[in-house]
Amino acid sequence: MDKSDRKLLKAMACFKKAKTHDSHLPLKPDTCPGSSGLELDIKGTVTFSFYKNLKIGNFGEKQWAVLAPVFTDKNTKLTLDPGSILPVVGEMRGMDSGAFGEVSQVAIHENHWSKPILRYDGLRADIAIKKIKGFGREITDTQKLDQLQKEWDREVGAHIAMRDAQHKHIIEFITAVERGYDRFLMFRWAEEGNLRTFWGNNNHPALTSALVKDVVYQIRGLADALHKLHTGNKVGGESFRHGDLKPENILCVTLTPPQDDHGTTSIPELKISDMGLAKRHNVATELRPQTSMRYTTARYEPPEVILPELGQGRSRRYDMWSFGCVILEMIIWLFYSNDELEDFNKQIVDEMGHGSHWFEKSQGQAAVVHLHVRNIMHKLRTEDHECATETAMRDLLDIVETKLLVVRLGVGTATAGGESGPRSSPGSRIYTEELLVDLDGMVRKGERNERYWFTGTSREGIGKLSEATKDSQIPIRQALLSPEAALAPGQRPLPAIRGPDDYLAREEHEHIISVQVPTASEIRTRKVEFPVDNKFATELLQPLANNDLFPMSTPSARLCDRCQGFDVGKPFFNIIDTLSDLESSRSSCDFCKMRWEVCHSPNGEPVQSIRFDRDQSTLKLNESLLPVISICRSPDLASPHANAIQIGLPQIAEAASRQHFSTLRRWLSDCDKNHPKCHPVERSRPAPRPPTRLIDVGTVAMPLARLLDTQASFPASAPYKYAALSHPWGPEPHFCTFSSTLDQHKQRIPVERSDFPATFRDAIATTRELGLRHLWIDSICIVQGPDGDFGVESKRMEDVFSSAYCVIAASRARGQTDGFQGPRKQRQFLELPVKNAGAAAGGQGGTGRLFVCQFIDNFGEHVLNSPLSRRGWVLQERALARRSIYFTDWQAYWECGEGVRCETLSMVNDKLASFLGDPHFPSKLSSNLTDRGEKIRFYEDIYKRYSRLDFSRITDRAVAIAGLERRMLTDLNARGGFGIFDDGRSLLPRTLLWRRGEGVAALQRIPPDQDAAAASRRARPPSWSWAAYDGAIDFLALPLGEVDWCEDQIHSPWKDRGGERRGEEAAANGLRAVAYPFVKQPLRPLLDPGQGDFEVVLDAGESVVIEGWEDWRCVVVGTKRVPSHQQTPVKERTHYLLIITTAGGGAYTRIGVGTIVGGFIGERMASTVVVH
């Protein structure tokens, strides 16, 4: 025995003496002080001071070898120590890396899997371990980590729920593992890969009755699995939709041993996988628009996800369209070949040659099944003799064509008793219940007649499917049209449903279209598109000789051999890189350098897997939301794919140059000519009169600027055009019109003076170049100061901005002195060699040019997150403007009702941003088809965002949104003021329950305006309005349709105001309400929001010491709805409260809101009070 053995023996004796054994492991580092050896406080202290620190460290590391977890059918989620190891034996095989995870094939030690999954031959199945990307100690953004953890928890929850379903056609989920920063998902390994891989490995299956029968049985199994997903727990109503059904997410598990006869084909067992996008929902809410399914494969999405302007609530029938796509692909593979299937998919493209959805828009803008898909189904039906009689192929095709690939959702109906689920209306897309009935019918036919599966007729001479060209014109059946076109003559869409738990009502009205409103999480993940639009670009560049907006010449790009071979204009173009390859080649290849710069550390996180995919005329990195590289061309590019590339400018003209102003004027003239919905709307009320004053900017030839009184200068009926400037005031001093300088400014505005604000000088020059004579600037056109008219003019902002010909927005400025027409940042670009030059011009050659450029068309970052957009007044200015030109550090942007254009000539479609860019806000929300509840959520979100903006004068907080508020009140058919709405239903109690924002220490009451004249002309917001406070607000999280409102407890100040919409004066009269005292016991729970149903949010903050709580009162605004069959006592029901306290003189003031059970309210001691 050597020295080391003796030390080990001595260590074992010490452990034995301390009665320390495996159950005490692991020994944590904090029990191993480095200086004194290993110290254990287990049944006394035993110090191994003789043991060197190195050995102690070895013990700490090697103890994990005997602590590997054992997987059972109960531990569906494991949280392990960062030092733990997984019980994996052998090498990891078959590693597959994607943008969001890495999947490896492994074997689990036999002693660490209590109930293993067995293969067909009785051996243990291997395991697929998916390591989730995105987690790591290098991520310091806590909000991002929280979001990642929420998404992880959601995905794990979906897998656990599906595991509990125990369906053989859903891939077996084993467990989820959290180990420090690592996240793993473990599933059964599918030996034959996914369905797409299986088709590719079996290019031309040997067609037999047995094979067709097996395929139909597998399709039936998948349909039953979907039914299990969609219906879930019959008692609780919880269910899922998959959301990303495609061949890649259907895995293939071997059922039988390999056949000796290579002439036969056997179908594996098909299993639905990848539940990461599965959306949990209750049937009562399944029609709410969903925004969290972030990475859905667009190709298999149904038409309702991208209907113009409105978003269809995604019901369970979302998956049925995708399943129809998969079944048609299965038919083509089965009866033809995988080669034919690949040719079929390559031809499902849009007019630009890009991969397309399986639907497209008709000339009337209705959605229809893609022409090529219709052609193929028509060819199968009319030319394949297997469809000539009653066969499995014909019945499957009928199901796909008439029941699954159907745009119309129609009106669902319930069966008797509702136990068998809903039924679709004729000509509508069906539910899983109905699909199973049809597939069971096929099974019965096959049992009666074996030739039903396959007639056995030779398939020699069957033509190629690819011969079904786009030139064929298949008539469009009514069932293929969009929901709007599918309505019967004179039929009106059904109104929105508000019932909280009315399952049958929800299903009966499932075709309701409900707008997708922007929530905070959706804004972070919203989809922004950059469609190719060369019509405007061609018209803009046509008059310019030699395309003088393009660089005359550029140095030849240094390109490596690989990049020389790229054809970035080719449809489906992609690049797969590694970081090390780009690192080594960036010094010698300019395009490699460009890619390295955009991917080596985006968002401060290292990227290992690098894939660039062509999306329209851009390249995206790893399925990023925004592109990282733009592709553009000159108008004369001669290339087969030229129409799919944006005509655009690799470098834009200098600010304030002739070319720059030419682009701005063309934006205006194009909108005037081609965008009727951006024109001033015809109103029932008299047309608004022009602003009281405007600046006459003169002309380029006679640049005299002066202030005009419009009533004296403009005849009442005369048309007038003016621009309005949206700008930040910034730090003092400010250039303003005061009563003392009013006459001077009417004579001349000193634009030429060196101290004249650069922002105003640029606005005046820009207005002249736009061909306009008049400009409105708030600080000049409104007389400032105590004796000014701000109090009157500030109420006219709605008319000022909505009547402006256009709004000039100084987005890059931080104050009056910054200007917005100075030098701009220059982007990097490369000119690439043109592939197949001249091919598009009959072989005559071409002089066109092709560029790849740094992506700068970031409207969200440059405009929506600009310093200007953080100013409180600007939210209203943008929403009220009919069209705006934004001047940023990179380029100018144009926004109108048709979207956003960039000075690079790109176009931006951002549906969420378009709600506030609506030229007649809120027309995109005002349709009778729009769900009222979602509309309320949108308006709440507007107020939450507004409360987080900045003001030069905080007393403007109530008035800077007044014009926008008037329109919202009209849209909701409500009255109100100061952010509180009353429609005689639920709006008053709901809007009263605003709360101090998350992370805000305290709200400060805004003092009265020091400008006595202004203060006298407008009412001060009451304490129960958030407009009375400085600080961010949120709203209590109240479920729509699940609150019983106590309307008899509150008397609205606007109830007796007749037809007046916005009544600030009425609010000053106070809110009459029934108030109840608190009993003594709830004091501690009230101040401890972590206890159960107690949540009290005090406006002054939780750290404030509150004395005299006995003077607190509460107004019961509503109670949480409980099912009618539950006899819940009032004292146990959750109450939603407005909390008030005495303000002296018999009046009360608000101090917060809360959620609390009724047992803490003195309901027998009510009194009527007035809250001011």
For 1041-1057, write each residue's pLDDT tens digit.
788 999 889 999 988 65
Spatial distance between the Cα atoms of 983 and 932, rounded to a whole number of angstroms: 12
Kindly state whether residue 516 falls inside one of the protein's structural domains. no
438 and 375, same domain (yes or no): yes
Expressed as residue numbers, the domain containing 220 is 207-233+282-508
Contact of 204 with 410, CB cutoff 8 Å: no
How many C-beta atoms surround the C-beta of residue 656 within 10 A? Answer: 17
Q: What is the pLDDT of residue 1071?
A: 92
pLDDT band at 1127 (very low <50, low <70, confident <90, very high): confident
Find all residues with CB under 8 Å of 467, minimum gap 6, and list them: 379
Sign of CA dihedral 268, 269, 272, 274: negative
Task: Flag the least confident range among 148-152, 709-713, 1010-1014, 1138-1142.
Answer: 1010-1014
286 and 409, same domain (yes or no): yes
At residue 372's C-alpha, the angle toward residues 366 and 376, to 5°, is: 125
pLDDT above 90: residue 738: yes
835 and 768, same domain (yes or no): no
Residue predicted with more confidence, 666 or 41 = 666
Q: What is the pLDDT of residue 403?
A: 94
Q: What is the pLDDT of residue 1018?
A: 63
pLDDT in tens, 491-521: 333 222 222 222 222 222 222 222 233 333 3
pLDDT band at 845 (very low <50, low <70, confident <90, very high): very low
461 and 540, same domain (yes or no): no
97 and 184, same domain (yes or no): yes
Q: What is the pLDDT of residue 57?
A: 58
pLDDT above 90: residue 564: yes
Three-state DSSP state, 784: strand
Buried b vs exposed e over 892-907: b needs ≥16 C-beta within 10 Å? bbbbbbbbbbbbbbbb
Nearest to 1049 by CA among 1167, 891, 878: 1167
DSSP 861: I
Report percent pLDDT > 90 for the chain. Answer: 39
Between strands 1147-1157 and 1167-1171, the pairing is parallel
Kindly state whether residue 521 falls inside one of the protein's structural domains. no
Q: What is the pLDDT of residue 606?
A: 52
Three-state DSSP state, 504: helix
Q: In sequence order, what are the beta bridge partners of 977?
A: 980
Task: Flag the least confident range among 196-210, 727-741, 852-866, 923-937.
Answer: 923-937
CB-neighbour burial class of residue 375 (10 A; exposed 0-12, middle 13-18, buried 19+): buried
Q: At 919, give phi and psi (nearest 5°).
A: -65, -20
pLDDT above 90: residue 70: no
What CATH number should be reported for the domain holding residue 160? 3.30.200.20
Q: Which amino acid is at 772?
A: L
pLDDT above 50: residue 1039: yes
CA distances from 245 to 87, 271, 479, 644, 713 (A): 32, 11, 22, 28, 65
Q: Rounded mean pLDDT of the chain?
A: 79
503 and 559, same domain (yes or no): no
CA distances from 556 to 465, 563, 831, 849, 1128 (A): 45, 13, 7, 12, 79
DSSP 426: T
Q: What is the pLDDT of residue 1029?
A: 96
Kindly state whether residue 788 falls inside one of the protein's structural domains. yes
pLDDT above 70: residue 523: no
Contact of 1162 with 1116, CB cutoff 8 Å: no
Task: Flag the least confident range among 458-472, 511-525, 1066-1080.
Answer: 511-525
Query: How would DSSP label each residue in 208-237?
Result: -HHHHHHHHHHHHHHHHHHHHHHH--TTT-
Residue predicted with more confidence, 485 or 426 = 426
pLDDT in tens, 908-966: 988 767 777 777 788 766 655 456 777 788 888 889 999 999 998 899 898 899 888 88
Q: What is the pLDDT of residue 1093?
A: 59
pLDDT above 50: residue 901: yes
Q: At what angle do helices 318-335 and 392-399 cross, to 10 degrees?
A: 150
Q: What is the pLDDT of residue 290?
A: 36
Spatial distance between the Cα atoms of 701 and 419, rounded to a whole number of angstroms: 80
482 and 602, same domain (yes or no): no
CB-neighbour burial class of residue 576 (10 A; exposed 0-12, middle 13-18, buried 19+): exposed
Residue predicted with more confidence, 1139 or 1105 = 1139
Last residue of a domain, one of 42, 66, 90: 66
Q: What is the pLDDT of residue 677?
A: 85
How many C-beta atoms surround the C-beta of residue 744 within 10 A? Answer: 14
Residue predicted with more confidence, 854 or 422 = 854
Contact of 992 with 942, CB cutoff 8 Å: no
Q: How many CA atoms lie within 13 A of 647 on its CB side?
A: 19
pLDDT in tens, 284-342: 222 223 333 333 467 888 988 765 433 344 577 889 999 999 999 999 999 999 999 99
DSSP 707: E
Q: What is the pLDDT of residue 548?
A: 61
Residue predicted with more confidence, 924 or 382 = 382
Task: Flag the least confident range among 269-273, 588-592, 620-624.
Answer: 620-624
Q: In sequence order, what are the beta bridge partners of 892?
A: 887
Kindly state whether residue 96 falls inside one of the protein's structural domains. yes
pLDDT band at 49 (very low <50, low <70, confident <90, very high): very low
pLDDT above 60: residue 759: yes
130 and 45, same domain (yes or no): no
pLDDT above 80: residue 1028: yes
Q: How many CA atoms lie within 13 A of 950 on its CB side?
A: 14
CA distances from 492 to 305, 481, 927, 986 (A): 22, 17, 12, 26
Kindly state whether residue 403 falls inside one of the protein's structural domains. yes
Q: What is the pLDDT of residue 1065?
A: 66
pLDDT band at 687 (very low <50, low <70, confident <90, very high): low
Q: What is the pLDDT of residue 162?
A: 78
pLDDT band at 33 (very low <50, low <70, confident <90, very high): very low
59 and 169, same domain (yes or no): no
Q: What is the pLDDT of residue 297?
A: 60
Three-state DSSP state, 585: helix
296 and 425, same domain (yes or no): yes
Q: What is the pLDDT of residue 363?
A: 53
901 and 1039, same domain (yes or no): no
Residue listed under structure tokens 């192929």: 393
Kindly state whether residue 247 falls inside one of the protein's structural domains. no
Spatial distance between the Cα atoms of 427 and 553, rounded to a whole number of angstroms: 59
Domain count, the chain: 6
Spatial distance between the Cα atoms of 219 and 223, rounded to a whole number of angstroms: 6
Contact of 592 with 586, CB cutoff 8 Å: yes
Contact of 356 with 340, CB cutoff 8 Å: no
User: Token digits for 785?
Assistant: 């100061």
Kindly state whether residue 1022 falls inside one of the protein's structural domains. yes
Nearest to 632 by CA among 613, 652, 612: 652
418 and 437, same domain (yes or no): yes
Q: What is the pLDDT of residue 509?
A: 27
Kindly state whether residue 910 falls inside one of the protein's structural domains. yes
Last residue of a domain, one of 922, 956, 972: 922
Task: Flag the least confident range among 91-100, 706-715, 902-911, 950-959.
Answer: 91-100
